[in-house]
Amino acid sequence: MLGVAFGIGVLLALVGSAAAHSCVAPDKLVSEMLQRLEDSVNMDEPPNPSVLLAMNLAGATNSSTHKWLLQEIKEEAVKRAQKDMTSGQVALYLLALLSSCQDPKHVQALGKTVDLLHILQEKTEEEMTSLEETGVPKTTLYSMSLDTLGLCLERASGYKKASIALAKQVLSPANHLSVDTRAVAAMALACTYNQTDLHDLRHLLWDTLSEVTNSFLDEQEKRDGMMGNIYSMGLALQALGSTKMFYAPREWDCAQAFSVVYDHDYRQPMAIAQVLPALVGKSYLEAASLKCTTSTRTSLRLRPSLSQMPSTLEVHKSLIQVHYSIINTLQGKHFSDTISVQVPDGSTLLKVLQAAEEEKPEVFCFQTEQTSWGPMVVSIHGLAGNSDDRTYWQFFSSTDALQEGVGTYKPQDGEHIQAIFSTY
């Protein structure tokens, strides 16, 4: 992998300390991230609209990868948007197309045309109905925030109603919403604020946006720049960068927040796709106002370092022991089982699950589904998470919830991983 020799920290050292104090990242870092995004585009996997959106916001629209990705996004939209996508997925496709200066009302591919905006309106309506009837949206408030942003950028009917519902949810003390969700909600509500003259609505949005943005700034101050965790930072930075009027005259120490991001070596395409727009001073709010004719940015092609070259030598890694428990006290027949397995040092958690399954398949069998963030564990011991009853398999190291999934998290020797069937 490119980054091993040319870690982000090294890149920063090269450009000197000046960049660390500005709120636009050094060009080299941006190019490196763009390269990682381009390299992540894989012809055998479904296209990722967040990657196209990030490329567009960063102004990297010249490559053949970009062209290919845009075409795939259109084809996927035509094939799956109506039947197989959640509202949030439709919203991400719409944002990706808008940022490519495409009309989402007429998405043409494979000899068919779909009106993605109309589909988004219908799916947002379903989210709203569920929220009104059951107190929770059909999917999540994160998705509903993406929906509202998409509708607002297109000034499509329904966005004001969705904004009111969203603002009330954000303000409700009963909801403990993640930084990620509040950040996307803030961008959606800022869009609506900028487009409405309705006095009461503006008032509600003002209160909500001041509350959210000030709570981010408070958290940043208390936690040396961190808001949420390292993977929420991209969205938090996007939100703070695009909502300054709601916390004025308070100043944002963006250099402090950026330095937290600079210290992390982002590898996952989704993580990069969420952080990159903020690093070039942009946010999802600008998805509909890009000029698509000029492409200024290119990715950085670096020579792979020796350590990244495929080696003919067998590397023998030492083995580590990981304890792994699966616990369900929530539904059906309760169970709690533990196993200790040995895997090579540096293995991902997925390897641990596979080793456990190999040893005792009748107990530790599991299934994953490929998602934009990598493999998600959807079922263990025959018990599957379900979006209707809002259940999922949550992973812990001892009692701390993991901040990464099984495809990237690497347990240490002696670590105790727990998978607990939970609700969200």
Write the single-letter amino acid at 131. Answer: L
Using an 8 Å Cβ cutoff, are 417 and 324 in contact? yes
411 belongs to the binding site for ligand B12 (CB under 6 A): no
Using an 8 Å Cβ cutoff, are 11 and 29 in contact? yes
Contact partners, residue 316, CB within 8 Å, separation at least 6:
none
Contact partners, residue 219, CB within 8 Å, separation at least 6:
179, 226, 227, 228
Stretch that binds ligand B12, among 72-80, 115-123, 209-217, 226-234 (CB under 6 A): 226-234
**Distance from the Cα of residue 117 to its chain's centroid:** 22
Cα(249)–Cα(252) distance, integer angstroms:
9
Q: Identify which of 106, 183, 118 has the alpha carbon closest to the alpha carbon of residue 150.
A: 118
Using an 8 Å Cβ cutoff, are 96 and 49 in contact? yes
Stretch that binds ligand B12, among 38-46, 87-95, 186-194, 242-250 (CB under 6 A): 87-95
180 belongs to the binding site for ligand B12 (CB under 6 A): yes
Complex with ligand B12: residue 6 or 284, whichever CB lies closer: 284
387 belongs to the binding site for ligand B12 (CB under 6 A): yes
Residue from 255, 365, 376, 384 in contact with ligand B12 (CB under 6 A): 376
Q: How far is the CB of 391 from ligand B12 (least distance, A)?
A: 9
Complex with ligand B12: residue 206 or 392, whichever CB lies closer: 392
216 belongs to the binding site for ligand B12 (CB under 6 A): no
- Residue whose C-beta lies closest to ligand B12: 405
144 belongs to the binding site for ligand B12 (CB under 6 A): no
Cα(297)–Cα(353) distance, integer angstroms:
41
Of 295-354, binders to ligand B12 (CB under 6 A) are: none
Other CB atoms within a 10 A radius of the CB of residue 116 amount to 27
228 belongs to the binding site for ligand B12 (CB under 6 A): yes
223 belongs to the binding site for ligand B12 (CB under 6 A): no
Q: What are phi and psi of 379, to 5 degrees?
A: -155, 140
124 belongs to the binding site for ligand B12 (CB under 6 A): no
Complex with ligand B12: residue 26 or 385, whichever CB lies closer: 385
Which 3 state secondary structure label does DSSP give 53? helix
Write the single-letter amino acid at 66. Answer: H
Span between the terminal Cα atoms of the chain, in Å: 35
68 belongs to the binding site for ligand B12 (CB under 6 A): no
Complex with ligand B12: residue 201 or 285, whichever CB lies closer: 285
Residues present in the chain in total = 424
235 belongs to the binding site for ligand B12 (CB under 6 A): yes
Cα(246)–Cα(254) distance, integer angstroms:
16
379 belongs to the binding site for ligand B12 (CB under 6 A): no
Stretch that binds ligand B12, among 174-182, 246-254, 279-287, 294-302 (CB under 6 A): 174-182
Complex with ligand B12: residue 142 or 246, whichever CB lies closer: 142
Give me 40's structure tokens: 């992540």
Of 264-283, binders to ligand B12 (CB under 6 A) are: 268, 271, 274
Contact residues for ligand B12, defined by CB under 6 A: 86, 88-89, 92, 139-140, 142-143, 178, 180-181, 228-229, 231-232, 235, 268, 271, 274, 371-377, 387, 392-395, 401-406, 408, 424
